[in-house]
C-alpha cells in the first residue's frame, strides 16, 4: 500500500488534487491556527502557566485534515494528542488552556459541542467512539464519529475489539491512526512486525487507507470519503496517516535520548504547515499580505484565549466530582460534600 499524496514536499500540487483552492485556504488557516496554539501552549507550559502538555507539532495536517471532513453534528473522540483537532471542531482555545491547566472547568466541554474530553488511557477512546456512533444510528441520527489513536495504541486489545465490533455491525465510525513512528521511546518496528497498520483493516473486512499524514489534502480527501461511506451505511474505515511528532512526547519528555537528530531534519523538510503554504503559493492562492493578516489574527485569538483562561474563577476542589455523572452517585455526593466542607 502506497500512501495517498496530492501535495509534494516542495509544495508541488498533483493534477488529481480533489480539493478546490478555497478549501485548501480553509485548510491552511486551520492548520496554522492549530500550530500557533501548540507552539504557544508549549511556551505557557515552560512559563509554569500550563500543566503537562502533549504537543502535536508535525501532526497538524493528520488531525486537522480529518476533522475538516466532519459536519458540526458529527462527533470527535480525541486522544490527548488531538488538541488541534478539537479546536478546529469548535473547542474554544480558552477552554483547551483550562483543560491543560487541569482546571476542572476545562474538562466540562460545552454541551452543544460534539467533542468528548481528551482520552489519556490509550485506546479506550476507540470503543467509546464506536458506542457514540452506534448510539446515533440507534436513535436514527445521521452523525458519524471520528476518533484518533497512535501507532502504539494499535497494540492494545481495545483497538481490536473496537474494530471488530464496528466492522461486524457496520457502525458509522472513522478511525485514524496517527502513525508518528514512536510510542514515547518505542519505535514502530519494535512494536509490530507489519508496520503498515492500514493493512490490518482487511482482517476485519473493512476498507483500510494509508495517507501521507503531512499532506492535508490527502488526509481531508480520504476522511471525506470514509465519512460519506459511514453516513451512507457503508460501515467503518481505518485510515493510517503517516506522520512524525516533531516535538517531545509531552512537555516532560526529552526525545534526544532516543531519537536521532537526522530523523528530525528529514521530517523538518516534510513540515505539513510549510508544505501547504508552499502549495497555496504555487496555486497563486496565497501571498505575503494574507500571511501577515493570518499571523496577527491567530496571535490575537490566542492572546484573547489566554486572557479569558486567566480570568476564570479559581477552581474549587468539589468540581473534581461534579459533572462526572448526570445524577451524582452516593459516593460522588459524599466526596463532593467532603471537598466542599472539609
Ligand X SMILES: Cc1ncc(C[n+]2csc(CCOP(=O)(O)OP(=O)(O)O)c2C)c(N)n1
Q: Is 57 in the site for ligand X (CB under 6 A)?
A: no
User: Could you say which of 1, 102, 168, 184 contacts ligand X (CB under 6 A)?
Assistant: 184
Q: Is 244 in the site for ligand X (CB under 6 A)?
A: no
Q: Is 255 in the site for ligand X (CB under 6 A)?
A: no
Buried b (16+ CB within 10 A) or exposed e, 11-44: bebeeebebeeebbbebbbbbbbbbbbbebbbeb
Smaller CB distance to ligand X: residue 84 or 150?
150
Q: Is 121 in the site for ligand X (CB under 6 A)?
A: yes
User: Could you say which of 7, 91, 115, 122 contacts ligand X (CB under 6 A)?
Assistant: 122
Q: Is 241 in the site for ligand X (CB under 6 A)?
A: no
Of 35, 57, 114, 245, catalytic: 245
CB of 54 to ligand X, least distance (A): 7
Part of the chain binding ligand X (CB under 6 A), chosen from 70-78, 150-158, 233-241, 295-303 = 150-158
Of 40, 81, 249, 259, catalytic: 249
Task: Compute how many residues bind ligand X; rule: CB under 6 A.
Answer: 15
Q: Is 182 in the site for ligand X (CB under 6 A)?
A: yes
User: Could you say which of 125, 147, 180, 251 contacts ligand X (CB under 6 A)?
Assistant: 180
Report the C-alpha gap between 92 and 110 in whole angstroms: 9
Per-residue binding letters, 72-91, with ligand X (x by CB under 6 A): ---------x----------
Fill in the DSSP letter of residue 260.
-
Report the C-alpha gap between 17 and 55 in whole angstroms: 29
DSSP per residue, 59-101: -HHHHHHHHTTS-TTSEEE-BTT-HHHHHHTT--HHHHHHHHT
User: Could you say which of 183, 198, 217, 230 contacts ligand X (CB under 6 A)?
Assistant: 183
Q: Which helix (H) or strand (E) holds 190?
A: none
Q: Is 162 in the site for ligand X (CB under 6 A)?
A: no
Opening angle at CA 281, ends 279 and 282, nearest 5: 60
CA-based torsion, 24, 286, 94, 179: positive or negative: positive
Report the C-alpha gap between 56 and 63 in whole angstroms: 9
Report the C-alpha gap between 15 and 11 in whole angstroms: 13
Residues belonging to the active site: 245, 249, 258
**Which residues make up the interface to ligand X (CB under 6 A)?**
81, 120-122, 150-153, 178, 180, 182-184, 245, 249
Amino acid at each position: 500500500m502506497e500512501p495517498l499524496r496530492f501535495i509534494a514536499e516542495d509544495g508541488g500540487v498533483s493534477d488529481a488534487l480533489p480539493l478546490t483552492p478555497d478549501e485548501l485556504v480553509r485548510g491552511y488557516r486551520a492548520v496554522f491556527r492549530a500550530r500557533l496554539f501548540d507552539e504557544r501552549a508549549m511556551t505557557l507550559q515552560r512559563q509554569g502557566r500550563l500543566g503537562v502538555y502533549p504537543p502535536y507539532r508535525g501532526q497538524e495536517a493528520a488531525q486537522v485534515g480529518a476533522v475538516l471532513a466532519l459536519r458540526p453534528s458529527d462527533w470527535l473522540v480525541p486522544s490527548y494528542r488531538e488538541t488541534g483537532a478539537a479546536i478546529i471542531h469548535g473547542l474554544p482555545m480558552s477552554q483547551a488552556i483550562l483543560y491543560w491547566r487541569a482546571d476542572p472547568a476545562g474538562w466540562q466541554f460545552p454541551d452543544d459541542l460534539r467533542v468528548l474530553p481528551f482520552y489519556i488511557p490509550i485506546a479506550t477512546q476507540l470503543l467509546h467512539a464506536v458506542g457514540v456512533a452506534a448510539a446515533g444510528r440507534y436513535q436514527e441520527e445521521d452523525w458519524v464519529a471520528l476518533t484518533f489513536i497512535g501507532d502504539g495504541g494499535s497494540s492494545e486489545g481495545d483497538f481490536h475489539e473496537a474494530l471488530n465490533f464496528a466492522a461486524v455491525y457496520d457502525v458509522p465510525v472513522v478511525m485514524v491512526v496517527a502513525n508518528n513512528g514512536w510510542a514515547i521511546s518505542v519505535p514502530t518496528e519494535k512494536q509490530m512486525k507489519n508496520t503498515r497498520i492500514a493493512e490490518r483493516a482487511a482482517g476485519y473486512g473493512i476498507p483500510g487507507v494509508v495517507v501521507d499524514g503531512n499532506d492535508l489534502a490527502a488526509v481531508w480527501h480520504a476522511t471525506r470519503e470514509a465519512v460519506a461511506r459511514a453516513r451512507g451505511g457503508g460501515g467503518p474505515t481505518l485510515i493510517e496517516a503517516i506522520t512524525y511528532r516533531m516535538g517531545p512526547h509531552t512537555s516532560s519528555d526529552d526525545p534526544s535520548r532516543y531519537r536521532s537528530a537526522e530523523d528530525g531534519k528529514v521530517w523538518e523538510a516534510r513540515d505539513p504547515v510549510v508544505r501547504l503554504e508552499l502549495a497555496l503559493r504555487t496555486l497563486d492562492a496565497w501571498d505575503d499580505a494574507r500571511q501577515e493578516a493570518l499571523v496577527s489574527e491567530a496571535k490575537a485569538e490566542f492572546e484573547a484565549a489566554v486572557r479569558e483562561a486567566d480570568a476564570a474563577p479559581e477552581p474549587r476542589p468539589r468540581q473534581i466530582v461534579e459533572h462526572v455523572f448526570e445524577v451524582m452517585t452516593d459516593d460522588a455526593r459524599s466526596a463532593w460534600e467532603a471537598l466542599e466542607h472539609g
